Chain A
């Protein structure tokens, strides 16, 4: 086995953080921040996802860079799909 054993304290800390962030994101949605509401929600969600990926899924401790590259590639390809598709919709009314 080549993966280090993470302390249960750290896991509990991540868990508490995730729960807090959940409450925060739900609460913030009731405050009017205009367009920032969406941004804040997505930023919090991404931060939560990062915590899960890095700590629960051990990516932070992985000896091989390959799993990190796979994660990055997957996110990159998803963003490709989303941005290039949206580019059509956002520019349809320009001409």
Chain B
């Protein structure tokens, strides 16, 4: 598994001394991030489980709630995240090729896309607030009951939809915020020239995290926004 390190590698300042060589360090930190992402799958998974069960029980209310979400903003946000995944992937590539300036630009673009996503999310949540769709004492499903007389809506079941909507998008947004934080650090260190073709693992594993958060949204989008958009009779 470990080869005898080159002279340069042995003195690579990034080598932590419990590792035999840079390759072992790189493999360990990659595996560590992958395993962490597996735990994140299960973390979100609990909420997906709750979602699945209540969608099965209260399809009507889930459909109505889904219709009340802005499909344009949702689609745009999905596109925003997809663009951010592109910049991340290109950023890792820039690091692999030692292109420092390009790397910094791509990391900054990623942050911009992330902030754009959060901004749009904020707008959506504010709309929900105005529509009294935030669960709690001020929750009201009256507008949905009026708007969709063809769908039988029980307000407490509707509230469950929105509880899950906010819990899931909230947890996702929290992960985005953390991602933006991580990428801020990465951008700073990239600008300082810390990443080279021989050592850029933090960029790679930061990228893995970002892609994961994107994948969660790839599932959240149809599950929350596209439950039932068929034209109503």
A binding-site residues for B, Cβ under 8 Å: 1-3, 5-6, 8, 11-12, 14-15, 18-19, 22-23, 25-26, 29-32, 37-38, 41-42, 44-45, 48-49, 52-53, 55-57, 64, 66-67, 70-71, 73-75, 77-78, 81-82, 85-86, 89-90
Which listed residue (A37, A55, A82, A90) contacts B45, Cβ 8 A?
Answer: A82
Q: How far is the CB of A77 from chain B (nearest CB, A)?
A: 6
Which listed residue (A23, A45, A52, A85) contacts B49, Cβ 8 A?
Answer: A85
CB-based nearest B residue for A64:
B27
By a CB distance below 8 angstroms, the chain A residues around B221 are 22, 25, 45
Contact B85 A29 (CB under 8 A): no
CA separation between A31 and B231, bound complex, in Å?
8
Q: How far is the CB of B96 from chain A (nearest CB, A)?
A: 5
Q: How far is the CB of B37 from chain A (nearest CB, A)?
A: 7
Which listed residue (A11, A25, A64) contacts B222, Cβ 8 A?
Answer: A25
CA separation between A25 and B71, bound complex, in Å?
11
Given contacts A2-B23, A52-B85, A70-B34, contact A44 B53 (CB under 8 A): no
Chain B contact residues (Cβ within 8 angstroms of A): what range? 35 or more
By a CB distance below 8 angstroms, the chain B residues around A25 are 221-222, 226
Contact B49 A82 (CB under 8 A): yes
Q: How far is the CB of A52 from chain B (nearest CB, A)?
A: 5
B binding-site residues for A, Cβ under 8 Å: 23, 26-27, 30-31, 34-35, 37-38, 41-42, 45-46, 48-49, 52-53, 56-57, 71, 74-75, 78-79, 82-83, 85-86, 88-90, 93, 96-97, 197-198, 200, 204, 207-208, 211, 214-215, 218-219, 221-223, 225-231
The total of Cβ contacts below 8 Å across the A-B interface reads 135
By a CB distance below 8 angstroms, the chain B residues around A31 are 230
A49-B219, A71-B38, A89-B53 are known; give 17 further A-B pairs, CB within 8 A. A3-B204, A14-B86, A15-B83, A19-B79, A22-B75, A29-B71, A29-B230, A30-B229, A37-B228, A42-B222, A44-B222, A71-B34, A74-B38, A74-B42, A77-B38, A86-B53, A86-B56
By a CB distance below 8 angstroms, the chain B residues around A42 are 222
Contact B86 A37 (CB under 8 A): no
Contact A6 B93 (CB under 8 A): yes
Contact A70 B38 (CB under 8 A): yes
Chain B CB within 10 Å — which of A55, A64, A70 has the most?
A70
CA separation between A31 and B214, bound complex, in Å?
26
Contact A67 B215 (CB under 8 A): no
Contact A1 B90 (CB under 8 A): no
Contact B226 A11 (CB under 8 A): no
Which listed residue (B30, B42, B85, B230) contacts A81, Cβ 8 A?
Answer: B42
Chain B CB within 10 Å — which of A12, A74, A81 has the most?
A74
CB-based nearest A residue for B39:
A74
